[in-house]
A and B are shown apart, each in its own frame.
Chain A
Amino acid sequence: MYFNKILIANRGEIAVRIIRAAREMGIGSVAVFSDPDKSALHVKYADESYPLNGISATDTYLNIPKLLEIAKISGAEAVHPGYGFLSERAHFITAVEEAGLVFIGPSANSVEMMGSKTGARQIMKKNRVPFVPGTTEPVEAVEEATAFASKIGYPILIKASAGGGGKGMKKVYSDSEMEEAFFSAKREALSAFGESAVYIEKFIENPKHIEVQILGDKFGNYVHVFERECSVQRRHQKIIEEAPSPVMDSHTRKKITETALNAAKACNYYNAGTIELLMDEKKNFYFLEMNTRLQVEHPVTELISGIDLVKEQIKIAAGEKLSFSQKDLKLTGHAIECRIYAEDPDNNFLPSTGRITFQRLPTGPGVRVDEGIEAGSDVTMYYDPMLSKVIVHGSDRHSAVERMKIALSSYSITGVQTNLSVLLWLLNNDSFLSGKYSINLLDNEFFPLVPGKWKECICEEIEDAATAFAAILRDHTRNSSNNVRLNEVMLENNWCNEE
């Protein structure tokens, strides 16, 4: 037995995912919840749940004293942070350990070294890991930013030192845009990560986002679990991820995974971590940052490797040695993940909030859904609008893409609008299908067709079905004075036509 009970300091699909892993290992789970989440799915899934009493993230999922108090009351022996929230806060790890608990993740020291993006760049420089040209220190003043930008040349990116997920990140093309972008990035950084430090990086044209999953135990053993490609992004937020990368060759894979392992070793890393890199069209790659936590897109790696990354995290935290070595790991088939967000594509992708009135998840061979909501769940403005992740595995990329199209087409969800139709558009896009897409895919090919035009390929047959449905419903409301269900009306009137 690794632990008797663990506390999951998170919410949504990742909390559910961790609870599932714990349960399979015979470990009890303790969920925590904010006021809007009182009947959320992760609360129902867990063995025990405790209120954090509050609404804002600061009062709840970021509230370290409350979380530790609940850990104590519940008798949890370890804390899993998930992703986001406190997952990359070194002082949280220290607080957990000082409370006599085990943190399911890396050491505070590693997180500190890698958590500051500027600090990480200094370490990479020392260890000769290639990285994108830019500042190795936070930039304090807008004048300093402008001066540095003119030195390395526009376009540049302003990025949050403590950041991730596109929050606190702004692209700047000229001096005149600098001031607004600089302060906007600082504000976003402050509200998302609690600190406003930003740094500047040269912007690389048409790169791919490649990342390498690594695992390390507390005895200095390391493996990489291959690469993922996460180039399909909107506003630097990943939306489709796949493993392996469709353009990866064995030579580049060898180099890039070696680089990743070196980066992990440079900060004495243990537990699961991800080295993010940019790869240009000539397959030169640059260290971007290290995510010292479980990634949203970890399931694609699980499906091609057969490794349960969450279970490995728990075992490593409990002081186990890795039970396999690099040569035991085989890459099998191809996996794709699509993130389902509550948002309105034709309205500037603004979050769509409301109550989920109905949900029916896709199933079938090779289909996995990591869900964070169910019918009755409320999607609020307080947290990230990601609802679930659909992950498929196929024998090759083509079969995985086909499988994903079918899975997304059969996803039923009502009450909020989602990005399902955009995901399907992408899965039919020639650049995506060729595998030769870059992180600019949406900007170059999708956004010019917004609003509306990207929907024009929809065939007449399905439009007629939608039209018929709406007209039938309207006609039914108009002609029936009571609330008779539609099919019942038809039976009474004997409308059934036998074909």
Chain B
Amino acid sequence: MPDYFVDINKKEKSVRFTAPGEIEIDGRLYHYRIEEINENYYLLRLNNKVYKINKVLGDKSNSLILIEGKYFEIEVRTNLEQKARQVLSNVKQKSHHSLIKSPMPGMVLKIKKNAGDEVAQGESIMILEAMKMENDIKSPFSGVIKDIYVDEGSAVEKGAKLFLIG
């Protein structure tokens, strides 16, 4: 039974701590040593290779890390969280809604769709102005727009609700 399930760039891996200083990832066994240089910068020794690891953003279960110029989006789940997720994903399949939040602070310049419109994946929904550029906000998947929470001309913070798609 794995100790943790790890999603890395959307691929799932299972992790087991087999002994002190020993980790098994999808059946591959490694010796490790880790050193915290500061809370954002770590040295990880895996068998005989040393990785310099940048913890770019994140909390205890979700993080963005940078190793050798490559970014990894990572989610770590305990056994219990994995089970909860399976239950939730069953529920999710019935009501297929997704809330799109603003990826950055900015100003809503133009809204191209109305609630009730059908949109295809990658279709532009609105234009958000930030850092002097007009940024196209595209739909992450195909569906129907259930609700739009902002108006043209309104300023939005990072994480503000933009629209609901389902």
Identify the A interface with B (CB < 8 A): 57, 167, 184, 187-188, 191-192, 235, 344, 347-348, 350-354, 357-358, 360, 381-385, 405, 408-417, 420-421, 423-424, 452, 455, 458, 461-475, 477-478, 485-487, 490, 493-497, 499
Contact = CB atoms under 8 A, between A and B. Distances in A.
A367 to B, nearest CB: 14
Nearest to A344: B103
Contact of A465 (B67, B76, B130, B132): B67
B138 A348 contact: yes
B137 interface: yes
A494 to B, nearest CB: 8
A348 B38 contact: no
Given A187-B109, A351-B131, A470 B6 contact: yes
B46 A412 contact: no
Q: How big is the B interface, by class?
A: 35 or more
A495 B131 contact: no
A465 B25 CA distance: 10
A119 B132 CA distance: 25
A494 B48 CA distance: 19
B70 A412 contact: no
B82 interface: no
B97 interface: no
B55 interface: yes
B66 A420 contact: yes
Nearest to A479: B17
Nearest to A384: B131
Nearest to A423: B69
A405 B161 CA distance: 39
Nearest to B106: A381
B98 interface: no
Given A452-B10, A464-B30, A468-B25, 10 more contacts: A353-B158, A413-B54, A413-B56, A415-B57, A416-B57, A417-B56, A462-B68, A468-B30, A474-B61, A486-B34
Nearest to A192: B132
B78 interface: yes
Interface in B22-52: 23, 25, 28, 30-36, 38-42, 44, 46, 48-49, 51-52
A39 to B, nearest CB: 19
B123 interface: no
Given A358-B38, A383-B131, A421-B69, A468 B49 contact: no
B4 A495 contact: no
Nearest to B2: A471
Interface in B84-127: 103-106, 109, 127
A235 B104 CA distance: 19
Contacts, number: 200
Contacts of A385: 131
A394 B32 CA distance: 36
B54 A412 contact: yes
B69 A420 contact: yes
Contact of B65 (A458, A464, A470): A470
B160 interface: no
A410 B74 contact: no
A487 B35 contact: yes
Given A417-B56, A452-B9, A485 B36 contact: yes
B15 interface: yes
Contacts of B78: 474, 478
B54 A458 contact: no
A471 B60 contact: no
Given A409-B69, A415-B57, A416-B56, A467 B105 contact: no
B152 interface: no
4 cross-chain pairs, A with B, having the tightest CB-CB distances, nearest first = A358-B40, A414-B40, A486-B36, A466-B72
A235 B134 CA distance: 11
14 contacts: A354-B57, A384-B132, A412-B66, A462-B51, A463-B8, A464-B30, A464-B46, A466-B72, A469-B44, A471-B15, A472-B34, A475-B17, A485-B36, A490-B33
B40 A455 contact: no
Contacts of B23: 468, 471-472
B136 A348 contact: yes
A487 B44 contact: no
Nearest to B33: A496
A471 B6 contact: yes
B104 A350 contact: yes
Contacts of B15: 467-468, 471
Given A455-B9, A464-B46, A474-B4, A415 B67 contact: no
Given A184-B134, A475-B4, A465 B41 contact: no
Contact of A414 (B46, B55, B106): B55
B34 A487 contact: yes
A159 B118 CA distance: 32
Contacts of B134: 184, 187-188
A470 B70 CA distance: 15
A468 B46 contact: yes
A466 B67 contact: yes
Find the residue from B35, B42, B44, B131 having the highest chain A CB count within 10 A: B131
Contacts of B71: 417, 420-421
B131 A462 contact: no
